Structure formats: C-alpha cells, structure tokens
Structure 1
Amino acid sequence: MTLTHLTKHQSDRLGGFRAFADEHLAPLADGFDAEQTLSPEVVALLAERGYLGATVPEALGGAGMPMVEYGLLSEQLGRACQTVRNFVACQDMVALSLARWGTPEQRDRWLGRIVSGEVTAAFALTEPGVGSDAKAVATTATRDGEEIVLRGAKKWISFAQTADLFLVFASLEGQHTAFLVERNTPGLSVEPVRGLMGLRGSLLGRITLDDCRIPSARLLGRAGMGLAFVASNALDLGRYSTAWGAVGLAQACLEESARYAGRRVQYGTEIANHQLVQQMLADMATDTMAARLLCHHAGVSVEQGDPDAVHHTLMAKYRSSTVAVRAADHAVQIHGAQGIGAEAPVQRYYRDAKVLEIIEGTSQIQQTLLSAYAMKAARS
C-alpha cells in the first residue's frame, strides 16, 4: 500500500527507493542485527546514491531533497533495515546542523565529507543521567585562551563506535552550546555499548570527555544556541525520519504476516481465513496507512512552512511509533512459535519497534507536548 496522491516524480522516486532497499539492504538486515554492526560498503553505497545529507541544499553539496521525498526514502530504509535508516538519520542531523549553523570553514572541512561518506558523524546529546530533559546537560565547556576544554560523558550515542566527528552539546558559561569534536582529539574516548534490544547494528557508545581540548573555532553557531536552535532543528529531522521509518517497519510487519498467513495451514485451511487473524491483518493495514498519512501531512507542512509543522511531526512520530509496536506484536502473534525464532524477521521487527517509541523523544514526552499544543489550540 502506498499514497495515492503522490506526484509522478515522487512515485518514481519511491519505486527507486523501494528497489534499492530490497536489493541492497533487506538481505543484510538480519546480519547487521546479529553481528551488531554496519558495513562500510553500505555506507559507500548510500553516499553513491545521494542518500547521505539528502536534505542539505544543493548549493552546499547535498541533494536538496524535499521533505516528502525524504520521508518516502526513510520509510523504505526503515522497511528494509532500521539500522541503516538510523544511520542515515544521524548523518543527516549533523549535516543539517553544519549546513544551517556552521561557518564556511566548518562546512568546508566536514560537510562535503559527510555527504560523500568519507566522514561519519554522531549526534552526542544524551548523557548517562540526562535523556529527555536535554536542557539539564551536565557536560561542561570552559574557555581557556583560544581553546575550549570539554568535561563530561555522553551515552547511548548511535554510531559512536566508528564516528569520525561528534556533535557534542555542553554547558558553556551556563549556556547550552554545540561543539564539533574530532575522534582523534586527546581526552576523547569511546566505550562500546552492546547487547541492545533493538537497532542492534547502530554501534552505540559511551563517550568520555576528559579535559578534551578543542579550538574555539569548533563551536557551532553561537553560545546559547545549542538546545533551542542546533539540537532542536536536528531533532525535528530525526523525529521525522523515525516517524516514516516506523511506518516502514509496520509495512514490513504487514507484508511478512500476509505472506505467512497465506501459506500457513491450520485446521484444514490457511490461517488467513481465520477471523481473528483477519482482524489483526485489517488493523495492521489500516493503522499503517493512517500513520503514513500523518507522516505525509507532516512533510507537506514542513515544505509549506506551516508554523505548526513541528507539532505535526510530533504527531506523526508519536502515532507511527505506537503503530509499529502494535503491528510488530500482531506479526509475532500471527507467526506463532515461528515468530520467536532467531531466523524470523518479525522478532527483529518486534525489538526494533519498541526502540522507536523511545528514541527522538519518548511517547510520553510526545504526549506531554501534544497535550499542551491541543490546549493552546482549543483556547485560540
């Protein structure tokens, strides 16, 4: 199932995204999950297709991809492999930050290399004791002449194990600020975080900044812009990618379940003929389409500069992630004992889906923000 009101260009691009995902990503997804890794070959292939830094304007070396089109790409990446979808989103969050807030020198040094896949990046916001309450960041930055000294720790940072560049958020003179830190900077160390429930190929790590000295020119934007501008804009993009990726995961659950239900025979007939299985398939199909429409609305809203676009993205991420969890639950149930075996893709979908309710803002944070939005709208 897909959207019927896409333009011909969007439909053609969607077909290309799906073919790419089916050929190059889906066959590798189980391996990335089992081995907790992502291959450099896939990174190179993504760069070759222009899928890294895709939303960066063409004038700055990106693809200048419109948001609806970017959403269609994210859905297909998420349908095939959430690890890859997450990797693309992380690169794009840092690339977009450089494009919007970076100095010419910073862009020249890193932006083109992220888009080309030569440099991989990590978005280092979350800390061991700081998750959703990002303004409470405990990592500090202190000026020392022409240098800045970073002290603190970050955790649950996607692709930290292999990243060449970290976008680090710290408090500078009491102001939430963003910094660009290269991997080989003395005082920076990375400890792998393994054994995750889902998105197991995302190479998470804990970053320690022990008197880590960087030039003052590595400050991104201005002091005080870290949360309200740099992180906020990047997280909006990450949330949007996650929303569409959750739709892709729900679609994968539906497709896998429909195929299985059509061939699995119990009580003398395919289980697709049993009403309770039909109910689950009907709910999966309907919920997935509804979530897809929310995501499409969010993309159009961003493209049109709607002042409510951020909240439309929040709605899309909140609903799509909950739909993905429900679809994955149904998919495992339809597969029965076959669904909990290591060889069944649906058990990976189930684990990945739960993670999508947590990353880029938990469902409860989305509910809090959307409740406030609804109350404000009701009073206006």
Structure 2
Amino acid sequence: MAAPVVAAPGVDAVHDRATARAFVDTHIAPHANDFERAARVPEELIERMAAAGLWAPFLPPEVGGAGMDMVTLGEVHEEVGRGCSSVRSLLTVHSMVSWTLNRWGSPAQRERWAPLLARGAALGSFCLSEPGAGSDAAGIGATAVPTGSGWVLDGVKKWITGGQRADVYLVFARTGSSIGAFLVPRSTPGVRVTPITDIMGTRGSMIAEVAFEGVRLEADALLGPSGFTAGMVLTGTLDIGRYSVAAGSVGIVQACLDACAAYTTRRSVGGTKIRDFPLIQAKLSDMVTDVRAGRLLVAEAGRLKDAGDPTTLMATWVAKYFASTAAARHASEAVQVHGANGMGADYPVARLYRDAKVMEIIEGSNEVQRITIAGDAYRETR
C-alpha cells in the first residue's frame, strides 16, 4: 500500500485514483484548452500539484515522497492524462529524472536532489533526443569530456519536454566509447534554453531545445558509473517514461469516451439523439473495450515493476504500443463523432486528437515498438 501523502493546508493529497480524479476534475481538465492556447502550464498549477504530492510520489517517505507503488502511479498518471496530456508529459519527464536519481544516484546526489524533486521544489527534465537523433542512444552526438576535476559537456538536445521550466536536466552524452548520464542544473554557465513553439500536440508541455556549450561539471555530476548507462540507466529511465505514456494514453481514450458520450446525448439529428444511431454506439463500444484493455495492460506492467520482475520491460512496451495506437484511433473517431464541432476549440476532442498522435512517437515510436515486441516473440519461440 502507498504511504499517505501529507498535503499543504487547504489542498487535498493525491494518493489513489479517486483523489487523482477529483484533483484533475477540479484543477486540470476544465483548463486544459487554456493551457494549450497559452503553450504552458501555469505556475499556480505546478505549485498546487506540488502541494498535493503529485510530482514524485513513488520516492521514499524519508526524502519527502509517499512510497507510492507503481500500479497506483499508473492510475494517477492515467487520470492526469485524461485531463491534459501536457500536464501528464511534465509528470512523465520529472518521474524519469526522479526515479533514475533514486535508483542510480550516489548518496550525495540523492541528498542534494531527491527532497527537491519529491516536493516539486525543483522540476526535472529528460535530455536524450537531439536534432539528428531520437531515442537511439547510438546516435547521440553530445559529448562529455573528462577533465582533471570533472567534465566538460557540449551538445544540443531537442524536443525536451519541460525544458523551458526545468531546474535540473538529466543529460545523456558520449564519454568516449560509452554513454554517460549527467545531472545538470539549469543555472550552470553554458546552458542555453530556446523554447520550441507551434508544435502539433502537447502544446502546453513547454518543450525546448537545450544547448550545452562548454558546460563545466563537477565529477559528481555523473549518475552511475560511466559505461554502465546505455545498458542499465537508460533502459530503466525510458521504461518509466513508456509506462507513464501508456497510462496517459489510456487516459486519452477515456477522455474521448467521456466527450463522445456527453456530446451524443445532447446532439440530435432529425429529432433523434445521435447516441441512438448504431454506428455511433459501435464507436463508443470500441472505446469502452480499448480503455478497459489498455488499463489492464498498464496495471500488469505496474504489478511486474512492483514485484521487481524484469519482464515488466516487455509488458510496458506492449502496454504503450496498445494504448498509444488506441488513443490515436479513438481520438480520430471522437472528432468524427463531433463533426464540424470536433475541429473547433469549443470541445476537447481536437486537442485530444493532436495529443494522441504524439503518443505514437515519444518514448519509442510505434515502429520501434513493433520490432521490439516481435523480437521478443521470436526469442520466446526459440
């Protein structure tokens, strides 16, 4: 069971699906279109999420977390994704940094950063993608060159979720023949942040290009032993990201279902509620089926994480593939159900459509996922 979260006065703690749903329905979902138009999540919400213990509740209580289990975390991220994928995206990258620090960080690194990340006093962002390389670690061009007392980091990272707002970056860079992960405070000289605007989806997630120009880091900026990163740290970090995206994608399907059920109940054609049309009912029945199936796949991946079972990696690949494709498919159907109204700003489905497409690309594209899942099938057959 997750340990109870102690929230700030006047703010209810989020510790399960029900409390997450209440928080989302009050503070996130009604304003999601505003976040998209503003291309950012307001500081007031960031602070309110911190007060509710939302940023890294899986961290241990001794550093300010709640010790939340991964199944519950998936449920919370689903609810946030139902309300706004931009907000969920910020949770995703912050979770990736926080989890990686807790798993691989030195005692000194955890002492410095874990309490800040746990309470949302510092936000983390994940820096892997580059202008010429996505989630393929072999294509990383950023470099970290050792010096007598530390490292010099150079390179450019692109499509960095939360990059405009983050206080600390988890940066992956080449260290000779291997890959290293580095904790880089935003305030370090040589860090330059350029907002990326006018993107297709998750427009409120404050995406940026982050350049590192002769950034001098102390020796203790390295997270985990050099050469260990590509095989272990990066794998675990991306797994947490995929898990959150899978859960958030289920939330998108649920949001599509909710929007369509409400709209078709109100809307009439020729004196008949369109909810009574068989083709409309077929669309909604498919949404119901896929949201339940996706939820079960995410829960299974979370259960395996809680059990320390390494098969959680493939379970998460499957959950993310299924949920992201379902989100894209049903968001398209949701726009269709709404007709011309679905293409405007008065209903949420246009935003859901834009956000859902992003889910098929981030944390491993669907093409990469299909190759990985098929490879596992062949290994099992052997």
- What is the match of residue 165 of structure 1? 168
Q: What CA distance in whole angstroms lies between the structure 2 residues aligned with 1:260 and 1:137?
A: 46
Q: What CA distance in whole angstroms lies between the structure 1 residues aligned with 2:367 and 2:51?
A: 38
Secondary structure of the corresponding residue to residue 220 of structure 1: coil
CA drift of 1:211 comes to: 1.1
CA drift of 1:44 comes to: 1.4
Whether the 8 Å CA contact 1:254–1:284 is kept in 2: the answer is yes
CA drift of 1:307 comes to: 2.9
- What is the match of residue 357 of structure 2? 354
**Alignment map for 1:136-155 (pairs within 5 Å):** 136-155=139-158
**Aligned equivalent of 1:247, options 244, 247, 250:** 250
Q: What CA distance in whole angstroms lies between the structure 1 residues aligned with 2:210 and 2:244?
A: 24
Q: Choose 162-171 or 300-309, whichever is displaced more.
A: 300-309
**Aligned equivalent of 1:19, options 17, 22, 46:** 22
**Aligned equivalent of 1:267, options 256, 266, 270:** 270
Q: What CA distance in whole angstroms lies between the structure 1 residues aligned with 2:302 and 2:226?
A: 30
Give the TM-score of the pair, scaled to structure 2. Answer: 0.94
**Aligned equivalent of 1:57, options 57, 60, 65:** 60
Secondary structure of the corresponding residue to residue 68 of structure 2: coil
Are residue 203 (structure 1) and residue 233 (structure 2) matched?
Answer: no
Letter of the structure 1 residue corresponding to residue 334 of structure 2:
A
The verdict on how the C-alpha distance between 1:376 and 1:46 changes in structure 2, with shifts beyond 3 A counting, is same
Q: What CA distance in whole angstroms lies between the structure 2 residues aligned with 1:60 and 1:372?
A: 39
CA drift of 1:216 comes to: 1.2
- What is the match of residue 98 of structure 2? 95
Are residue 300 (structure 1) and residue 290 (structure 2) matched?
Answer: no
Question: What does the per-residue CA deviation read over 1:260-281, in whole Å, with 9 as the maximum and x for residues that have no partner?
Answer: 1111100220011111111111
Whether the 8 Å CA contact 1:29–1:80 is kept in 2: the answer is yes
Q: What CA distance in whole angstroms lies between the structure 1 residues aligned with 2:38 and 2:276?
A: 38
Q: Choose 101-110 or 146-155, whichever is displaced more.
A: 101-110
Q: What CA distance in whole angstroms lies between the structure 2 residues aligned with 1:228 and 1:39?
A: 37
Q: What CA distance in whole angstroms lies between the structure 1 residues aligned with 2:172 and 2:135?
A: 14
Q: What CA distance in whole angstroms lies between the structure 1 residues aligned with 2:215 and 2:342?
A: 47
- What is the match of residue 80 of structure 2? 77
Letter of the structure 1 residue corresponding to residue 289 of structure 2:
T
Q: What CA distance in whole angstroms lies between the structure 2 residues aligned with 1:106 and 1:207?
A: 22
Whether the 8 Å CA contact 2:178–2:230 is kept in 1: the answer is no
Secondary structure of the corresponding residue to residue 167 of structure 1: strand
Letter of the structure 2 residue corresponding to residue 16 of structure 1:
T
Question: What does the per-residue CA deviation read over 1:172-208, in whole Å, with 9 as the maximum and x for residues that have no partner?
Answer: 1221001111112111111111111110011111111
Q: What CA distance in whole angstroms lies between the structure 2 residues aligned with 1:305 and 1:165?
A: 28
Question: What does the per-residue CA deviation read over 1:127-150, in whole Å, with 9 as the maximum and x for residues that have no partner?
Answer: 111103123211011112102111
Q: What CA distance in whole angstroms lies between the structure 2 residues aligned with 1:303 and 1:121?
A: 23
Letter of the structure 2 residue corresponding to residue 346 of structure 1:
V
Are residue 123 (structure 1) and residue 143 (structure 2) matched?
Answer: no
**Alignment map for 1:167-246 (pairs within 5 Å):** 167-246=170-249
Question: What does the per-residue CA deviation read over 1:231-268, in whole Å, with 9 as the maximum and x for residues that have no partner?
Answer: 21111111111101100110000011011111110022
Q: Choose 51-60 or 114-123, whichever is displaced more.
A: 51-60
Runs of 4+ displaced beyond 3 Å: none
Whether the 8 Å CA contact 2:331–2:352 is kept in 1: the answer is yes
Q: Choose 303-312 or 241-250, whichever is displaced more.
A: 303-312
Whether the 8 Å CA contact 1:178–1:225 is kept in 2: the answer is no
Secondary structure of the corresponding residue to residue 206 of structure 2: coil
Consecutive unaligned residues in structure 1, runs of 5 or more:
1-5
Whether the 8 Å CA contact 1:253–1:328 is kept in 2: the answer is yes
Secondary structure of the corresponding residue to residue 129 of structure 2: coil
- What is the match of residue 317 of structure 1? 320
CA drift of 1:170 comes to: 0.5
Q: What CA distance in whole angstroms lies between the structure 2 residues aligned with 1:228 and 1:260?
A: 48
Q: What CA distance in whole angstroms lies between the structure 1 residues aligned with 2:30 and 2:270?
A: 33
How many residues are matched? 372
Secondary structure of the corresponding residue to residue 151 of structure 2: strand
Q: What CA distance in whole angstroms lies between the structure 2 residues aligned with 1:196 and 1:168?
A: 23
Q: CA RMSD in A?
A: 1.7
- What is the match of residue 293 of structure 2? 290
- What is the match of residue 345 of structure 2? 342
Are residue 39 (structure 1) and residue 69 (structure 2) matched?
Answer: no
Q: What CA distance in whole angstroms lies between the structure 2 residues aligned with 1:14 and 1:183?
A: 33
Identity %: 43
